Chain A
Amino acid sequence: MLSQQPQGEGDGVMAHPDEGADDASGLTLSLPSGDLNSRSGISQHRDYVKISVPGGRRDPLPMEWWKTAIAFIYAAFNLILTTVVITVVHERVPAKENSPPLPDKFFDYIDRVKWAFSVTEINGMILVGIWGIQWLFLKYKSIAGRRYFFLIGTLYLYRCVTMYITTLPVPGMHMTCAPKLYGDSKAKVQRVLQLISGGGLSITGSHLMCGDFLYSGHTVMLTLTYLFIKEYSPRSFWWYHLMCWLLSAVGVVCILIAHEHYSVDVVVAYFITSRLFWWYHTMANLQILRCSPNNYLTYTWWNPIFNFFERNVQTEVPSTFCWPVCCPPTCFKNTCKKYSKVQSTREE
């Protein structure tokens, strides 16, 4: 409460000290009045007044970890589904003797280099590692994580669909595909588990199955991780962005050099990943789009899921960083706001 009397009429501003409560809706204010020259001889009244500001605003970027957990489950489910579909599709891949690799422009120009695919996978692991570290240091981890899981899940879901409906033959005679298990479900489940545990990478020896060509999951990971790294880091770190871009681009090109995917797989994967990322983030960042009637962006099938995740996020997520352990900020810190002491004099 602020009680103020006009100057010269009596007391100056009466104030009370604010006892350390970090109340976001209140302001503590002290107003000087009277003659400051008379400071020295007069006992100092350290009086502060709390002005309560009405209607404390909702936090524009709430954490909501439970939504992130749901997104994580969605992504995990889709990854497992992808693995199962790969196993199913593997049975239908035509033998490479019967169905030779399709003509591909890139393969015509560049011959196969054996170790290129390891480069891709190493780059992919580095990028995912960097993104993981960056994510740990983000202040708004839950929101960024939620978005990442959702996009990964959706991209892999699309991938399941395209892999399943039409099966492309192997891109090169060098590919060794595991033998087909006609109807042997137990062995299939084992393969699925092996693939999951190895993360789907050839470098870990888990990816022996063929048929998952349209579109390329490696390209998706490389592109998406780079986009997220770039989006959620400060704009001034151009060297960092450039480095990650190089890792990503080199990785993608090496997929083709290794003749592990057709060019169309890589191009389609890049296209779908970048468009989905931009679409989602534009919808999330531009608040006016959400309420505008002619927003065609809401015609996608995942719009309700988007609304669920992003309903309470009201601004663009800033790239602020903090130590992983001490966020949320209410641990250990003294939350008293300190104001410079202002002398309030009493006047007769």
Chain B
Amino acid sequence: MNGLDQWPEKDVTTWLKEQGLVEYSNQNWNGYKLLRLEKVDFLKPPLSLVTSDGGQQLLDMIETLKIEHHIEAHKNGHANGHAVPLGGKARGNGTINGFRKEMVQITMPEPERTQYPVEWAKTGMAFGYALCCFVFTTVMISVVHERVPAKENTPPLPDKFFDLFNRVEWAFSICEINGMVLVGLWFLQWLLLKHKSIVGRRFFFIVGTLYLYRCITMYITTLPVPGMHFKCSPKLFGDWESQMRRVMKMIAGGGLSITGSHTMCGDYLYSGHTVMLTLTYLFIKEYSPKRFWWYHWICWTLSVVGIFCILLAHDHYTVDVVVAYYITTRLFWWYHTMANQEALKKPSMGNFFSRVWWYRFFQYLEENVRGIVPRKYHLPIAWHQLPWSHVKYSRLETQ
């Protein structure tokens, strides 16, 4: 501190000018006075007239100056017996060997929140929600199966498409193969996305909600089988065990006829196959580069052919498919518009979108996502993301 105390006025003025505090430069302070400045001095004239911030900036800089000088003094072996802020005891001998080579942790300010935070917890929740909805759907199908009227008693309802096109037997396999291909493609694409967690969260939420709606429509009114070709499993009146087993079998097979797991009838309004075909196509198109138009075309064709084959196979009524398409597209566009516009994430009088029942859940999932999720890709396993690698800092050299 000796050095600072001895500073002549000229040096102080130079220092003030260097620090950009020219407003104080004509106060004629010397080092001694500078060090003894306090906040109260800035409350009265003449300092109160020149200072713009109550002298705070100047006082901070004086503190920094003190610390710098202290380090220098310490380095030069001056031991004046007052407290060393750097840890370690002051050594009286003043030799350079006494200087401790300590490293100091400088706390960096918190890094800025990223625009697209990876919050896997939320994705996990969305996944749990989707899983619940799937299981619930399966249970519901099992329940509804008991109430489907026998096809002898209630013949299939008149349907315009069925009048125009006769049934083609193998068409439903095409639909399911297309569905599996689309889901596989979407999964691969999802793996390559950079913002996996956000996109995954959206997919799970939308799928879950669509299947939840489906549970409701399936349950409240039961449509009869669309064709006499249907082979429905026999009803198990009240036999819970077998019903549970059926539910498990269906979940294990993914609800597809091709795996032999879908032998139950009654889940017609609305069509789950259409939902999956449409939704995977929408997601594939949304989260892939615009210039891959051929890719989008292929997926669109797969989707449309799949949906057409559902009807061709007389496996669903036309109204099931139309309603499924409508609900899927509307929900997808609704969700994504809300997610992309900051203005819609806050409830307001003009924002009718906030009146949907899932708005709070949506806010929870999307509140930290700022802006439109960019289409960026990278390999799923990147070396620098492995947990055991961390950045090494080289030790600071001291003079």
Interface residues in chain A, defined as those with a beta carbon under 8 Å from any beta carbon in chain B: 92-94, 98-100, 102-106, 161-162, 164-169, 214, 235, 262-265, 267-268, 271-272, 275, 277-279, 281-282, 285-286, 288-289, 292, 294-297, 299-300, 316
Contact = CB atoms under 8 A, between A and B. Distances in A.
B350 A264 contact: no
Interface string B223-267: 110000000000000000000000000000000000000000000
A297 B337 contact: yes
Contacts of B38: none
A278 B355 contact: yes
B319 A214 contact: yes
Contacts, number: 129
17 contacts: A99-B154, A100-B153, A103-B147, A103-B149, A104-B222, A165-B322, A167-B159, A168-B223, A268-B323, A275-B334, A282-B350, A286-B351, A295-B340, A296-B334, A297-B334, A297-B337, A299-B333
Most chain A CB within 10 A, of B317, B319, B333, B334, is at: B319
A162 B332 CA distance: 21
Contacts of B343: 286, 288-289
Interface string B151-165: 001110111110000
Given A167-B158, A267-B217, 9 more contacts: A99-B224, A102-B149, A103-B222, A106-B220, A165-B319, A277-B352, A279-B334, A296-B332, A296-B337
Interface in B297-320: 317-320
Interface string B325-359: 01101101110110011011000011111011000
Contact of B221 (A93, A99, A262, A316): A262
Nearest to A289: B341
The main secondary structure of chain B at its interface with chain A is helix
B314 to A, nearest CB: 12
A166 B221 contact: no
Contacts of B349: 235, 316
Contacts of A93: 158
B216 interface: yes
Interface in B336-386: 336-337, 340-341, 343-344, 349-353, 355-356, 372
B172 interface: no
A278 B352 contact: yes
B186 to A, nearest CB: 18
B158 A267 contact: no
A288 B327 CA distance: 25
B269 interface: yes
B220 A278 contact: no
Contacts of B149: 100, 102-103
A264 B356 CA distance: 19
Q: Considering residues A100, A164, A263, A275, which has the most beta carbons from chain B within 10 angstroms of its beta carbon?
A: A275
Given A263-B220, A282-B352, A166 B341 contact: no
A187 B319 CA distance: 29
Contacts of B220: 104-106, 262-264, 267
B205 interface: no
Nearest to B316: A166
Nearest to B329: A299
A102 B318 contact: no
A45 to B, nearest CB: 48
A263 B219 CA distance: 10
A286 B350 contact: yes
B318 A165 contact: yes
Contact of B157 (A167, A262, A316): A167
